[in-house]
Structures are given as structure tokens and as C-alpha cells.
Structure 1
Amino acid sequence: MRADRLVSLVLLLRQRGRLSATTLARELEVSTRTVLRDIEALSAAGVPVYAERGRNGGFALLPGFQTRLTGLNHDEALALLVAGSRRGAQVFGLGSALASAVLKVVDALPESHRDTAAGVAERLLVDPETDLLSRRVVADEVPDAVVARIRRAVLAGNRLRIRYAAAGGAPRWRTVDPIGLVTVRDQGYLLATRDGADRTYRLSRVSAAEELPEPARRPERVDLDRAWRERSTRFRTGGDQVAVLVRLDPARREDLVGTALAVLSEHVEADGQLRMEVTFQDRRHAQWALWQLAVQAEALEPRWLRTYLHDRAAAIVARYAVTGDPAASG
């Protein structure tokens, strides 16, 4: 890990010129104390790093210094393969490897192309952390050490023990045969089999993982896209799902479709409103989704959902009823 970090430090200085210890620490995701120790190690190894004092000071390499430290390691190569989604690399525990790999790729470019690459990085932004309304995009939090063990078992074809907590359940150990990893909307999933039956595990619910020495019982080849579609279909059509009949403002159609599991029927009424029958994972899912649509949707059926929305709205009205000085309440 430290050797890779030292390479990244050198490449950062080569590509960006003088950088402060604070900037280097942020880029390398370490403390400034660690950066200073790394600078000392580079100097001791003969890398010509020098410090410039003052308000705009920092660390830099002597002009003309060249390096051949651009070979990709295993994790960096993997990171580039999933680099179509920066967050995909993050979910699979390859975020730092991707950053390091990109530095090496840029450093390997001819000097005439290197400036162009730097310009591209300034002009193109993929998957920012917030949208236009400043809503933060929350990705699953999975410890790098845990996802690294899962990733190794998947790629090596070995069996895996995971400590997994199903929704609403206590965590317990399971031994599985891993098939592949999938990331969807910043959420990571492990596709596996257990005792021959298909299983799908959300990575954020895995608190520990152990790669076992015995080979996984799985086919030599797998169509992961097809396997995901099949499991997705089973998920949408099984379990405690509920069907809801909704009358909806067409402007909110995509919001409803984006949260529902499936659309069973849909037609336009005479007044232009949509009448749709959709399914949700369970009662709680349906309650949450319809509440988000406020007065732009009306749940026609089932009755329990109408009652829930009515009672919740009535409680809100009662809370904000004007009865005097609001500051005097509570």
C-alpha cells in the first residue's frame, strides 16, 4: 500500500507541479503527517523532491525529472475495467486504485497529450456527489477490507463466508458460492448461491467476510447481466408485494415509475390524468412512495393505503394549525 502511495505522490507532483502537504494529503486520502514521512522516504531514495517555503509554498520535483513507475498493479487494472462508473469502482472498494491508475495512465501519455488530458479532467464531470437541488447522492458504505475479501473470492473462484444481516434480522454467518458483483445506483450486490439456491446479498449489509480455500461450486462461465435480470424479475414478482391503483398527474409519472417495482396497467383518463396500477415491495414501500407524491397523486386502492395517507395528512394539518403564538407551543 505504501509503495503505491509513493508512486501516486510522485505522479501527482509530476503532473501538477508544486502542491502543498494539505493538498497531497487530500488527494492521497492520508494525513499531512503521513505525507511528510513519504516525502522524506522519497528524498532518501534519491527522488529529487524539494520544499518551497512561504504562503504559496509546497513540494515539487526538480524540473526534467523522469520516472518509469507507471506499471499498473492488479487492483488498478480492475479499477480501469469498472471505470465506466466512478461510483462503481467506489462500491467495489477500488476508488483509491482507480485514482492511482488514472494518474499512471496520464503519466504514460506523450507530453503533448498530457495537457489535453488535464484539460479534459477540468471540463468533464461524471457523477457529482450532489444534484442540482444540492441533494447528496448517498452510496452504500462498505468497508474496503470487507469488499476486498469478497472481490478476491469472486475473482479467484473460492467459497466465501459472510456475516450478513438481512432486512430486519440479526447478522449471522453464511457460507456461499460467489458468482459475481453488481452495482446499481450506487448500491453493491453479491450474486451467489447457497446450498444450490440463488441468493443476492447487499454489500452494505455484510459486516465481515472470509475467503475460504475450497473452490466455489459454480459454472465456469456466467452471463452476469442475464443473471441479474432474472433475479430482478423474481424479486419484482414475489414476496409480500402489494398492488396499488393510483390516479396521477402525468408530470409525476417518472417519479412513480422510478420507485415502483412494476407497472401492471396504465391509461389516460378524459381529464388527462393517468390511472395506473403499480406494485411495491411491501406496505411500507407503498406508503412512502405515495406520500412523496403529495397532492399530485391519489391512491384509489387499497383502502388501508388511503386510510394511512389520510391519517398522516390530518396529523400534519393538526400540528400546523394556527391557534395562537407558534413559539408558545412545545
Structure 2
Amino acid sequence: MRADRLVSLVLLLRQHGRLSAAALARELEVSTRTVLRDIEALSAAGVPVYAERGRHGGFALLPGFQTELTGLNHDEALALLVAGSRRGAQAFGLGSALTSAMRKVVDALPESYRATAAGAAQRLLIDPETDLLSRRLVAEEVPDSVVAEVRRAVFAGHKLRIHYAATDQTPKWRTVDPIGLVTVRGHGYLLATRSGADRTYRLSRILAAEELAEPAQRPDRVDLDQAWQERSTRFRTGGDQVTVLVRVHPARRAELVGTALAVRAEETDPDGWLRLEVTFQDSRHAEWALWQLATNAEALAPQWLRTCMRDRAAAVAACYGASP
């Protein structure tokens, strides 16, 4: 780990010219004391790093210093392969590896391209954390130790023990045969089989994981896209799903459809509003989705949902009807 950090420190100085100890600490996610120790280690190893004192001082390399320490390790190469989505790298515990790999890629560019590429990159922002309505995408937090263990078992083709907290259940240990990892909108999933049956596990609900030495029972090749589609279809057509008849304002149709599992029928009313038959995961999902649309949507059926919406609205009105 320290060797990788020392390489990253050298590459940061090559790319930025001069950085303070505090800036280096932020980039490397360590303390300033650790940075100072690393600087001493580099100097002792013959790397020509020097300090510039003063308000705008910091550490820098002697001009013209070159390094060949740009080889990618396994995790860095893997991070680049999933770099089409920065959130994908984060979900699989490869965020720091992606950062390190990109430093090495930039350092490997010809010097004439490096400044141009860096300037162009500042003009592009891909997949920001918030949209124009300031709605924040909440990424799941998965401990690096857990996702690293899961990742190793997936790649090695070994069985995996996971301490899993299913919804509304006491966490239990299970032994599974891992097939692959999928990330969807910042949420990570483990596709696996258990006793021959397909299983899908949310990474954020895996409390602990242990790679076993026993080989996993799984095919040598897998089409993850197809496997995910099949499991998604089973999820949408099973469980405690409810079908709701809804009237919705056309401007809010996309929002309603985006939260539903499926749209079974749709027609336009004479007043221009849309009448949709949509399926939700369960009753709580249906009530939540319609509540977000306020008066821009109305549940026509079933009656229990209309009653729930009325009672909730009455409770909110009573709350705000009294003086604070």
C-alpha cells in the first residue's frame, strides 16, 4: 500500500508541478504527517523532491525528472475497464484504484498532450451527483473490506460466505456460488446461486464476507446482461406486487413511470390527463410514489389506496392546521 502511495505522490508532483503537504494529504487521503514521512522516504531513495518555503510554497520535483513507475496493477486495470461509469468503480470498491490508474494514464501521455488533455477534462462533467433540481443521488456505502472479499471470490471462482441482512429479517450467514457483480444507478448487486437456485444480493446489505477455498458451482462463461434482465423480469412479476389505476398530469407522467415496475395500459382522458394502469412492488411503494406527485396524480383504484392517500392527506392537513 505504501509503495502505491509513493508512486501516486510522485505522479501528483509531476502533473501539478508543486503541491503543499495539505493538498497532497487530501489527494492521497492520508495525514500531512504521513505525507512528510513519504517525502523523506522518496528523498532517501534518490527521487529529487525538494521543498519551497513561503506562502505559496510546497513540494516539487527537479525539472526534467522522469519516472517509469507507470505500470498498472490488477485493480487499477480493472478500474479502467469499468470507468465508463465512475459510480460503477465506486460501487465495486475500486474508486481509489481508478484515481490511481488515471494518474498513471495522464503521466504516460506525451508532455505536449498532457496539458491539453487536462484542460479539456476540466470542460467535461459526466454523471454529477445532483441534477438541475438539486436532487442528490445517494450512493450506497459498502465497506472496502467486504466488497474486496466479494470481488476476489467472483474473479477466483470460489464459494463465498456472506453475513446478509435481508429486509425485515435477522442477518444470517449463507454460502453462495458467486456469478458476477452488477451496478445500477449507484447500487451494487451480487448475482449468485444458492443450492442451485438464482439469488441476487444487495452489496450494501452484506455485513461481512469470506472467500472460501472451495470452487464455486457455476458455468465457465456467463452473459451478465441477460442474467440481470431475467432476474429483473422475475422480480417485476413476483412477490406482493399491486396494480393501480392512476390519473396523472402529462407533465408528471415520466416521474410516475420512472417509479413504477411496469405500465400495463395507458389512454388519454378528454381533459388531456393520462389514465395509466401501473404495477408497483407493494402497497407501500404505490402509496409513496403517488404521494410524491401530490395533486398531479389521483389513484382511481383500488379503493384501499384511495383511503390511504386520503387519511395521509388529512393527517398532514391537521398537523399544519394548528399553530406551531
Tell me the TM-score range normalised by the shorter chain: over 0.9
Distance 2:228 2:32 in 1: 43
Residue 306 (structure 1) shift: 0.8
Alpha-carbon distance in structure 1 between the residues aligned to 2:86 and 2:260: 26
Q: Does 1:283 align with 2:280?
A: no
Counterpart of 1:151 in structure 2 is 151
Identity of aligned residues (%): 79
Query: How far off is 1:131 after superposition?
Result: 2.2
How much has 1:237 moved relative to structure 2? Answer: 0.2
* Count of aligned residue pairs for this structure pair: 324
What is the deviation of 1:17? 1.0
Letter matched to residue 98 of structure 1: L
Match of 1:66?
66
Match of 1:233 in 2: 233
CA shift digits 1:151-190 (9 cap, x unpaired): 0110111110000000111111000000000000000000
**What is the distance in 2 between the residues matched to 1:150 and 1:121?**
33
Deviation at residue 303 of structure 1 after TM alignment: 1.1
Distance 2:139 2:191 in 1: 19
Match of 1:319 in 2: 319
Tell me whether 136-145 or 192-201 shows the greater mean CA deviation: 136-145
Q: Which consecutive unaligned segments of at least 5 residues does structure 2 have?
A: none
2:75 aligned partner: 75
Asked whether 1:202 is paired with 2:195, we answer no
Deviation at 1:212, TM superposition (A): 0.4
Superposed CA offset, 1:229-281 (max 9, x none): 00000000000011111000011111011110111111111111100011111
Are 2:191 and 1:177 aligned?
A: no
AA aligned to 1:96 is S
- Give the structure 2 partner of residue 188 of structure 1: 188
Q: CA RMSD in A?
A: 1.0
SS in 1 for 2:188: strand
User: TM-score, normalising length from structure 1?
Assistant: 0.96
Q: Which residue of 2 aligns with 1:161?
A: 161
Distance 1:63 1:256 in 2: 59
Aligned to 1:254: 254
Whole-angstrom CA distance in 1 between matches of 2:135 and 2:259: 17
* Superposition deviation, residue 305 in structure 1: 1.0
In structure 2, what residue type is equivalent to 1:311? D
Question: SS of the counterpart of 2:19?
Answer: coil
Shift of 1:21: 1.4
TM-score between the two structures when normalised by the length of structure 2: 0.98
Match of 1:297 in 2: 297
Q: Who is 1:112 aligned against?
A: 112
Q: Distance in 2 between matches of 1:142 and 1:132?
A: 27
Q: Deviations over 1:24-75 (max 9, x none)?
A: 1111122222212211111111111111112111111111110000000000
Structure 1: 5+ residue stretches without partners: none
The whole-number CA distance in structure 2 between the counterparts of 1:290 and 1:136 is 20
Amino acid at match of 2:93: G
Q: CA deviation at 1:134?
A: 2.9
Residue 224 of structure 2 corresponds to: 224
> How far apart are residue 127 of structure 1 and its match?
1.8
Read off the aligned partner of 1:278 and give its amino acid letter.
V
Partner Cα distance (2:129, 2:295) in 1: 30
Q: Distance in 1 between matches of 2:43 and 2:135?
A: 44
